[in-house]
Structure 1
Amino acid sequence: MCELARTLLAEKLIDDFYEDDLRPRNTLDAVKKEWTEELKQLLPEEKWMLLYLFESQTMEECGKELRRFADFVAKLLMDGTHVKQDGAVVADDDEG
């Protein structure tokens, strides 16, 4: 049950991140389209497929990494762990 709760929390963190993102999604899409067009102009047409393959693999890997990070944060939240500013991880001490 804990694993399911952590997975759901991780997905919620990802959803919240994209909903609360400061940069509007349409702005990111416009930048991505502009960069793609610039790269297409620099590459011969027979190499465009490599550009699309690179783009799709990059998106897939970024998605995996985002899910791993969200799962890590969800685990910290569920374990009641706090991270100090120096990066040290400290568990909650409810006994004292």
Structure 2
Amino acid sequence: MELKNAFAIALRKTRLQRALTQEDFGIISSRTYLSTLERGLRNVTLEKASELAGRMGVHPLSLLVQTFLIAEPGTDFDSLFKRIRHEIDADPHVSAAPQDS
């Protein structure tokens, strides 16, 4: 499945779970634009995905993780996060470990 179609499913599902209408996004996005995203007709930018997630009260990564779980049906949540943890831990410039304050 194309990522834009998987994102469309994740976006619509999350919006409906939160009992939001497309009109509820009017401050950050037109109903027409949101509709094109939910139908998989357009790609979303990271900036817009972050704004949409914020309006729904979820972390942008929640939308992206859902997107990849939908796009790759054989992938499960735990194995995806194990892979992400491994890749981040392997990067010396990024740390997934909690920071001391």
Max Rg structure: 1
Please confirm whether the aligned pair reaches a TM-score higher than 0.5, indicating the same fold: no
Determine which structure has greater relative contact order: mean sequence separation of CA pairs < 8 Å that are 6+ residues apart, divided by chain length: 1
TM-score by length of 1: 0.30
Q: Considering fraction of residues, name the structure with more strand.
A: 1
Q: Considering fraction of residues, name the structure with more helix.
A: 1
